[in-house]
């Protein structure tokens, strides 16, 4: 059976969605530069520039190639990266106590981030092949298994923060199944109970001392203000000191004077708050709100089952990352090492998020 030839037309693209993604990418590059300028990490700004170029190329490629092709080969990439995850505890580079990175020269590659995309595609491939209009218990078991398998392997690295983000894909499965709200709540409660049991086991078996301290400090920020609580307290000071309009780009004192730890990664929003103020943070949130509403609209309007699932999964994944990261910066959530899409430094994460964004915008176009 021959596929329809791929054609590409600018008229068929979602210009607003593309522009928002590009604005967030370049804003992230600017904020990473500001967060690392004048420090030992200032070479990260050069690396971020390279990542941005690669991300734009990936974005264009994803916009051009019909998403159905990515879904078609979803299983292959899923199995490939599953094998890579199996090797991580033995071959991975240890960063902050977690063997979640492959070191390639002076560059790092994080398979667990890329695996999110291929977990979504493999699940979408199953949904397409089974022509699911309604879910049986067997279907739920298989789809949950597709998600839980890499999640468990990532926890074994151990990388609890990244593993937790896979919960968003499980939520997408529940909502995609068209279960009644009562059923979704029931399964969510069951899932929460299971998660609490696993948390208890992890607390006594897998969690490292610094991870336990982060959670205890979240419950009591003044428990250890000079060590475990230092990061949260300095982030709050940075955001508050920016007031309404901020101190100006490259002028954040908390960042410049090195009071704010990890300003270029998990706490990049604190840099935005200090330098661009409340207006800057609100603008970033507004851009994410528009982008997420577009993802949700695509999920509601697309005519294919796999397309709907892909869009819905990416919507939940981005929503989870954004809310949790901002909540971490404001001290409303424990520090878990969850970055914010496009803005946080990290080549693998940036490439993955631009790829996923391109997938949704590809679904919304009509060039295939």
What are 144-197's pLDDT values in tens digits? Answer: 899 999 998 888 777 778 888 999 999 899 888 876 767 767 777 777 777 777
In a domain, 5, yes or no: no
Residue spans of beta strands (DSSP E) within the chain: 93-95, 98-104, 107-109
Percent above pLDDT 90 for the chain: 33
Diameter of the chain measured on Cα atoms? 65
In a domain, 122, yes or no: yes
Q: Which pLDDT score, from 0 to 100, does residue 189 have?
A: 79
CA-CA-CA-CA dihedral for 96, 100, 104, 107, to nearest 10: -50
Lowest mean pLDDT among 24-28, 198-202, 330-334: 198-202
User: pLDDT confidence of 358, banded at 50, 70, 90?
Assistant: very high
Q: Shortest CA distance to 348 belongs to which of 27, 114, 54?
A: 114
Return mean pLDDT, the chain. Answer: 82
What are 204-224's pLDDT values in tens digits? Answer: 766 666 666 666 665 665 565
* Domain count of the fold of the chain: 1
Provide the residue range defining the domain that includes 195: 10-364
Identify the residue whose tokens are 């699940």.
Answer: 123
Q: Please state the separation of Cα 39 from the chain's center in Å.
A: 26
Residues in the chain: 368
Q: How far is CA 98 from CA 94, 106, 206, in A?
A: 5, 18, 11
Query: Phi then psi for 266, rounded to 5 degrees?
Result: -70, -25
In a domain, 4, yes or no: no
Residue spans of beta strands (DSSP E) within 105-176: 107-109
CA–CA dist 192, 140 (Å, integer): 17
Looking at per-residue pLDDT, the higher value among 228 and 57 belongs to: 57
Q: Which pLDDT score, from 0 to 100, does residue 2 have?
A: 38
In a domain, 2, yes or no: no
Identify the residue whose tokens are 């990266």.
Answer: 81
Lowest mean pLDDT among 214-223, 289-298, 336-345: 214-223
User: pLDDT confidence of 360, banded at 50, 70, 90?
Assistant: very high
Tokens standing for residue 31: 């904020």
In a domain, 101, yes or no: yes
In a domain, 300, yes or no: yes
DSSP for residue 12: G
Q: Which pLDDT score, from 0 to 100, does residue 71 have?
A: 92
In a domain, 3, yes or no: no
User: pLDDT confidence of 3, banded at 50, 70, 90?
Assistant: very low
Beta bridge partners of 98: 95
In a domain, 250, yes or no: yes
pTM (2 d.p.): 0.86
């Amino acid at each position: 059976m021959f596929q329809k030839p791929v054609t590409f037309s600018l008229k068929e693209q979602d210009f607003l969605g593309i522009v928002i993604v590009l604005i967030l990418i370049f804003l992230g590059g600017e904020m990473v530069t500001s967060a690392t300028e004048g420090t030992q990490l200032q070479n990260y700004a050069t690396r971020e520039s390279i990542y941005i170029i690669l991300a734009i190329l990936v974005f264009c490629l994803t916009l051009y190639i019909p998403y159905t092709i990515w879904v078609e080969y979803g299983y292959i990439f899923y199995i490939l990266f599953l094998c890579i995850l199996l090797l991580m505890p033995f071959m991975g580079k240890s960063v902050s106590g977690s063997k979640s990175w492959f070191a390639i020269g002076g560059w790092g590659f994080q398979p667990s981030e890329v695996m999110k995309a291929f977990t979504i595609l493999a699940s979408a491939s199953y949904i397409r092949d089974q022509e699911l209009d309604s879910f049986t218990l067997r279907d739920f078991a298989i789809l949950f298994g597709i998600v839980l398998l890499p999640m468990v392997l990532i926890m074994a690295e151990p990388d609890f923060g990244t593993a937790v983000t896979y919960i968003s894909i499980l939520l997408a499965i529940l909502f995609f199944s068209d279960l009644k709200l009562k059923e979704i709540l029931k399964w969510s409660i069951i899932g929460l109970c299971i998660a609490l049991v696993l948390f208890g086991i992890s607390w006594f078996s897998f969690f490292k001392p610094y991870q336990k301290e982060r959670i205890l400090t979240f419950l009591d920020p003044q428990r250890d203000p000079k060590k475990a609580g230092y990061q949260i307290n300095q982030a709050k000071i940075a955001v508050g000191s920016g007031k309404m309009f901020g101190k100006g780009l490259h002028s954040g004192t908390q960042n410049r004077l090195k009071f704010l730890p990890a300003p270029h990664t998990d706490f990049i929003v604190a840099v935005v708050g200090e330098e661009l103020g409340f207006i800057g943070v609100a603008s970033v949130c507004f851009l994410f709100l528009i982008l997420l509403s577009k993802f949700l609209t695509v999920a509601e309007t697309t005519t294919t089952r796999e397309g709907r699932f892909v869009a819905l999964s990416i919507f939940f994944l981005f929503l989870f990352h954004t809310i949790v990261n901002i909540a971490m910066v404001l001290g409303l959530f424990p520090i878990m090492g969850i970055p914010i899409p496009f803005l946080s430094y990290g080549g693998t994460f940036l490439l993955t998020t631009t790829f996923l964004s391109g997938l949704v915008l590809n679904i919304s176009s009509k060039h295939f």
